[in-house]
Structure 1
Amino acid sequence: MAKKNQQQPVGPVAGVYEIDTGTCALVRDTLTADGWIIEVNGVPSSHIDVDDPTQLDFEYMRWIAGLVRHHKFPGPRLRALHLGGGACTLARYFASVYPDARQVVVELDGALAQLVREWFDLPRAPLLRIRVGEARAVTETLTEDSRDLVIRDVFAGALTPGPLLTLEFTEHVRRVLAPGGIYVVNCGDTRDLTLAKREAATIGSIFPYLSIIADPAMLKGRRYGNVVIAGSDVPLGEDPALARELLGGGVPAQVWSDERVRTFARDAKPLRDT
């Protein structure tokens, strides 16, 4: 097992590395010229194509990227907060698509953050800052109206920590978001969709507009997987071009607008700090 140290070679080197929360395996993706998979404690966490930052291998990341690109943000440049860092795949993508964006990635594991900086050519501050800390604690310290986009993609194993699911936390996100901004979460759920419905109910209690993106089999309760849920104070996910783009992906997906999402979550109770 490789240990983190100051003599670590620059650039990705396959192996298993010690990090603060356990181990990180860096695995070569043989299907791409210079692709890498990052596994944290045995769970696939991120994929990066070193040659092409716009290449997103995980479907849910493509869905988030599409939702963001088809949204009209009011500010002159994108200000993004990523809760959950991993390999900074989405932050790297947005840095390519929005070259003047200002992004902060919050990562709990400081050793992992250091390794990712060493392995991959990430933009430097002020374009991209990696802040080591717990996602909720950091969010609660941020200035009101200081972000246009907040993405929550935090997992401990297969689950998102409970404090990041609640109404009270979502209120902090709403405070941090500027008018016209988007809050996007990656919800991992089982076939009964209980968590996705409760997350939609929670976010819908704070934001007047909702959207969901997932593949039809997931939304029909036929398998477990990812559901992307988003909230805003303006309509989102209604661009027909987004719907066409999602249908044309490797895993075709649907986008639901506010009315359909609220129908989906109508019997679910918001999650609370209890």
Structure 2
Amino acid sequence: MAKRKVEAAPMPGRYPVTQGEVELLRDLDRPGGWLLTMSGVPQSYVDLDDPTYLDFEYVRLMADVIDSLQEGPLDAVHVGGGACTLPRYIAATRPGSRHIVIEPDAALVELVRDQLRLSSVPRLKVRVTGGRSGAAGLRDASADLILLDAFTGATIPVELVTAEYMADLTRVLKSSGTLLINIADGKGLGFARRMAATVRGTFRHVALLAEPGVLRGRRFGNLIVVASPAPLPVAVLARKAAGGLTQSRYVGENDLVNFIAGASPIRDGDPVIAPVPPPELFT
């Protein structure tokens, strides 16, 4: 009888990756918990013993949206890999789901594979390429869900938030599919307003989810854009946002128009600077 392979425990420390250096930190409060940071900015948190445990508030908010979708396995595309927190979550909560992870940093992929048991996630394929080229290689109408959560340090690449890229993601989504985008912004929310205008110019049904303090521009934080060619489960999303641990607001329809306030969509070549969080945010 073959012996079961015993996986080595992750090793905390600093590791070189293609885009610089990351640090892998043990969570002293959870035996299976590990935090991945880059330049002091938290990138991913995973619990190897319980993939349904989500430490970051914005990730819990994205999971609330995923949980509101029709039951059953999903064909999911993840633009931005990190430690693959949400592929692990979906694999645990929706067995049989298939995942394509698009991540440009080959060394980061190998680190997560070696240290954080990426091979234990069933039906997951990683394509080491950029978000634009990775999406271009996907089949039409092949995804139930696309999750765009790609950051270089603390900044989202602008080429992944343009109208042209949104059009390509629309091509990849099924007619009933859902797009989830994690963005970050602060005072004035100028970037978030343009991002919402961009998505609304491409998708028929769009909403925002965020904490009230972030929506008012009182502090820097994450906003989740939800979009689909099909109607969104508005009542469910609003209830989950208000009743979840994150205590967020749902902004859709006329409220979203008011939020956008005439902001122009982002197009390829536009001079746009993605917002950078204040240095004290992660101290």
The answer to whether the superposition gives a TM-score over 0.5 is yes
Q: Aligned residue for 2:131?
A: 135
CA displacement at 1:141 relative to structure 2:
1.7
- Is 1:255 the counterpart of 2:277 in the alignment? no
Asked if 1 retains the 8 angstrom alpha-carbon contact of 2:61 and 2:246, the reply is no
Name 1:224's counterpart in structure 2: 220
Q: How far apart, in 1, do the equivalents of 2:180 and 2:119 lie?
A: 22
Q: Which runs of 5+ in 2 are unaligned?
A: 1-6, 270-283
- The answer for the alignment partner of 1:171 in structure 2 is 167
Q: Which moved more, 1:134-143 or 1:168-177?
A: 134-143
Tell me the CA shift for residue 26 of structure 1: 0.3
2:50 paired with 1:52 = yes
1:84 alignment counterpart: 80
Deviation of 1:206 after TM superposition, in Å, equals 0.5
Measure the CA separation in 2 of the matches of 1:221 and 1:160.
18
Q: Report the TM-score when normalising by structure 1.
A: 0.91
Partner of 1:62: 60
Aligned partners of 2:8, 2:128: CA distance in 1, in Å? 21
- Whether 1:272 and 2:267 are equivalent positions in the alignment is yes
Tell me how many residue pairs correspond in the alignment.
263
Offset of residue 40 of structure 1: 2.0
Structure 2 CA distance, aligned partners of 1:98 and 1:177? 19
Q: Which residue of 2 aligns with 1:3?
A: none
CA shift digits 1:56-88 (9 cap, x unpaired): 101111111111211237xx6311000000000
Partner amino acid, structure 2, of 1:211: A
> Where does structure 1 differ by over 4 angstroms across 4 or more consecutive aligned residues?
123-126
Does the aligned pair in 1 maintain the 2:19–2:105 contact within 8 Å? yes
User: Which residue identity lines up with residue 246 of structure 1 in the other structure?
Assistant: A
Q: 2: distance between equivalents of 1:231 and 1:122?
A: 28
Letter in 1 for 2:157: P
TM-superposition CA deviations, 1:26-45 (whole Å, max 9, x none): 00112223211001233210
CA distance in 1, matches of 2:218, 2:238: 21
**CA distance 1:26–1:258, change in 2 (3 Å):** same
Equivalent-residue separation in structure 1 for 2:187 and 2:53 (angstroms): 29
- CA root-mean-square deviation: 1.7
TM, length-normalised to structure 2: 0.88
Deviation at 1:157, TM superposition (A): 2.0
What code does the residue aligned with 1:202 have?
Answer: T
Give secondary structure in 2 for the equivalent of 1:160.
Answer: coil
C-alpha distance after superposition, 1:133-185 (max 9, x if no partner): 11111101211101111111111122111110100010000001011101111
Pick from 1, 7, 11 the counterpart of residue 13 of structure 1.
11
Q: Give the distance between the partners of 2:208 and 2:63, measured in 1 at CA.
A: 13
Distance 1:155 1:173, change over 3 A: same
In the aligned structure 2, how far is the partner of 1:46 from the partner of 1:151?
Answer: 14
Contact 2:15 2:21 (C-alpha < 8 Å) held by counterparts = yes
Letter aligned with residue 260 of structure 1: D
C-alpha deviation, 1:231, in angstroms:
1.0
Secondary structure of the structure 1 residue equivalent to 2:118:
coil
Percent sequence identity over matched residues?
38
Alignment of 1:11-50 (within 5 A): 11-50=9-48
Q: Quick one: distance in 2 between partners of 1:258 and 1:61?
A: 24
User: For 2:25 and 2:101, how far apart are their aligned partners in 1?
Assistant: 22
Aligned to 2:278: none
